[in-house]
A = this chain, B = another copy of it.
Amino acid sequence: MSNKTGFTVAVVGATGAVGQQMLKTLDEKNFPIKELKLLSSSRSAGKKVEFQGNEYTLEEAKPESFEGVQIALFSAGGSVSKELAPEAVKRGAVCIDNTSAYRMDKDVPLVVPEVNEADLHNHNGIIANPNCSTIQMVVALEPIRKKHGLKKVIVSTYQAVSGAGWAAVEEMKNQSRDMLDGKEAAPEILPVGGDKKHFPIAFNAIPQIDKFQENGYTFEEIKMMNETKKILHQDELEVAATCVRLPVETGHSESVYIETENGNPGVDELKALLKDSAGVTLKDDPANQEYPMALDSVGLPDVFVGRIRKDLDRANAYHFWVVSDNLLKGAAYNSVQIAESLLKLGLVKPS
């Protein structure tokens, strides 16, 4: 179970929708793993998981599980991260946390490597992986912001169910079958497992992701708004989000409106800019009906951008459509990219 050189890596929440993609990404990227620890809740402990031809038994995540761990990837819910990430840090691990627990903590870098990799230098043991819907948007925004500045962003999301976990995907599939058979759908999870009411997602669109805040925005919307400003280091950026859950298994889509600060680039200029940007795949040829779609994004690490067009009323305003696999670039892939960046920058040393 160990290579000659490499890192001791722990994955917390290894059986979840994101955890599984983390293992797949570590494998595909051939991440230098010397030893792998797969950790989980007590409920999943004892389950077997295969990785690179070896079978691993999930252990219950406890403070002492992190002894000797250099890199810990967390994706087992905010409360697990809150409890165990500090314990892992105490034991010398660098934690890459995919929950919202630490994202807005001023001592925790919130990182999308294509955008703000250098923020990793300021880490104190914990690095936060942004919200899925935030990541794909900032990857598309940053090249434009860097060249033309950004004044305002308005985004309406079209989010996939896998962002709420496998049980929610099963719920969507069961509801779909029931409704196709003319039966009533029985909602138990969505829109938010821990909220009071549940609504069918099959053949529906639910304008609620995460719980409502006092100001009428959902926490998902607030996350997008605050995280975008933090990642782009632009507190005064105007950002507003409306987050909507769709009957799509995987692949978040976003309708984005922006106003640039300086200059008034043409659509061709924006296309050229995005085409050459890290992490972005431009798919924008209306004449040939080429544009990004959720189904086409599944399993790919790219952020797909298309339907770029000028606002017909304001000179410095544009609309576009951003799609990405919410479990990959939106979560697992970005987390592993952060781990790679830590290695590249010498912020974690092999044991």
Contacts and interface: CB of A to CB of B under 8 A. Distances in A.
Interface of A: 152, 154, 156, 158, 173, 176-177, 180, 191, 195-197, 199-200, 203-208, 212, 215-217, 225, 238-240, 242, 244, 246-249, 251, 253, 255, 257, 267, 286-289, 291-295, 306-314, 317, 319, 321
Given A176-B180, A246-B246, A216 B307 contact: yes
Contacts of A247: 203, 246-248
Contact of A294 (B158, B177, B205): B205
Contacts of A267: 216
Contacts of A255: 156, 207, 242, 244, 255
Nearest to A191: B289
A259 B19 CA distance: 42
Nearest to A284: B216
Most chain-B Cβ atoms within 10 A of its Cβ — which of A217, A287, A288, A307? A307
A270 to B, nearest CB: 11
A244 B253 contact: yes
Given A195-B289, A196-B289, A216-B286, 7 more contacts: A152-B313, A196-B288, A204-B294, A205-B248, A216-B308, A247-B247, A257-B257
Nearest to A313: B238
Contacts of A156: 156, 242, 255
23 contacts: A154-B257, A158-B205, A177-B180, A196-B289, A197-B289, A199-B295, A200-B295, A203-B249, A205-B293, A206-B293, A207-B255, A207-B307, A208-B291, A216-B307, A216-B310, A238-B311, A238-B314, A240-B312, A240-B313, A240-B319, A242-B307, A246-B247, A247-B248
Nearest to A286: B212
A317 B191 CA distance: 27
Contacts of A246: 158, 205, 246-247
A52 B206 CA distance: 36
Contacts of A207: 253, 255, 291-293, 306-307, 321
A149 to B, nearest CB: 16
Contact of A248 (B154, B204, B287, B310): B204
A294 B244 CA distance: 12
Contacts of A203: 247-249, 294-295
Nearest to A185: B295
A253 B173 CA distance: 22
A252 to B, nearest CB: 9
Contacts of A295: 199-200, 203-204
A208 B191 CA distance: 26
Top 3 nearest A-B pairs by Cβ distance? Answer: A216-B309, A238-B313, A156-B156
A328 to B, nearest CB: 17
Contacts of A319: 240, 242
